[in-house]
Structure 1
Amino acid sequence: MDYQRINEYLTSIFNNVLVIEEVSLRGSRFKDISIKEMHTIDVIGKVPDVTPSQVSKELMVTLGTVTTSLNNLERKGYIERIRSEHDRRVVHLHLTKKGRLVHRLHKRFHKAMVEKSSMV
């Protein structure tokens, strides 16, 4: 298989997953968050006591981009920022009850998508 064909397949799969995720979010009770915000929630849900810098590295975006997303997610009630007791300059991110719920549903969505694709 040549490079061009593999690249086309990967690009197509990636774009299709994003569209499916977007449609799924828009049809749910969590239509107030974007795909980028959902991916931010996903990182926060996977990594205990994650910091904004770690989220930035994981998502491969700037700290400014993450900060904007975190501000929106905090305002919407999905995350909370908690200052470290050991070093007050450090902020740890945690999901709220609402954030944990959407994180679990998103994981379930991905699991179902993988299971369906393995049937093809």
Structure 2
Amino acid sequence: MLEQTLSEVYTKFKIHFYQEMFNHLHSRETSLTTVEMFCVEVIYALKNPTVAEFANFINVSSPNAAYKVNSLIKKGYIEKIQSETDRREYHLVVTDKYINYFNLSQKYVNTVVERAQDYFTPEQIAFLDDILRDMSLELMKDVAIPPVSINPN
């Protein structure tokens, strides 16, 4: 039962995001392929990785990752920023163009959270938050990404 319910919630979040994404595709506000969308989401989640860290995480060769990165740079979704500690190293940073894209899904998360806060008691919200945090930190250690920080814009 939990598997079905969690899968349903996850699917609804994804589908809502895809609906919003397709609305923007029709208005030509975005130009990402599906693979590029996944790549920029990984780069965002990894919080400014190097090309090598990105390549390692998605398990592709460095030249393949560099090709994907260059395409995302050309489309304006990420940029390379030189490391201040090691001038030979560059970090991948998402641009405001991606943040606006990301907010398509984040706005719905915020809407669902607001609805939950109206529907559930504060104690239930705290309990749900504890469960989700434990799931993220303890049960999903195989997805090694830094903790998510929310941009309220």
For Structure 1 versus Structure 2, the TM-score category normalised by the shorter chain is 0.5 to 0.7
Partners of 1:89 and 1:54 in 2: CA distance: 15
Give the number of equivalent residue pairs: 97
**1:59-70 correspondence runs (5 A):** 59-70=58-69
**1:41-120 correspondence runs (5 A):** 41-105=40-104
Pair member with larger Rg: 2
TM-score, scaled relative to structure 1: 0.62
Higher mean alpha-carbon deviation, 25-34 vs 42-51, is at: 25-34
Partners of 2:80 and 2:100 in 1: CA distance: 18
Deviation at 1:94, TM superposition (A): 0.5
Deviation at 1:31, TM superposition (A): 4.3
User: Which residue identity is paired with 1:71?
Assistant: N
CA RMSD of aligned residues (A): 3.1
| Distance of aligned partners of 1:82 and 1:33 in 2 relative to their CA distance in 1, 3 Å threshold | same
Structure 1, unaligned runs of 5 or more? 1-16, 112-120
Give the SS at the match of 2:28. coil
Contact 1:81–1:92 (CA under 8 A) maintained in structure 2 = yes
Structure 2, unaligned runs of 5 or more? 1-13, 110-153
User: Which residue identity is paired with 2:60?
Assistant: V
Runs of 4+ in 1 over 2 A off after TM superposition: 23-31, 103-109
Partners of 1:105 and 1:68 in 2: CA distance: 26
Partner residue of 2:132?
none
TM-score, scaled relative to structure 2: 0.50
Q: Deviations over 1:12-41 (max 9, x none)?
A: xxxxx8xxx5x8374463542111111111
Partner residue of 1:36?
35
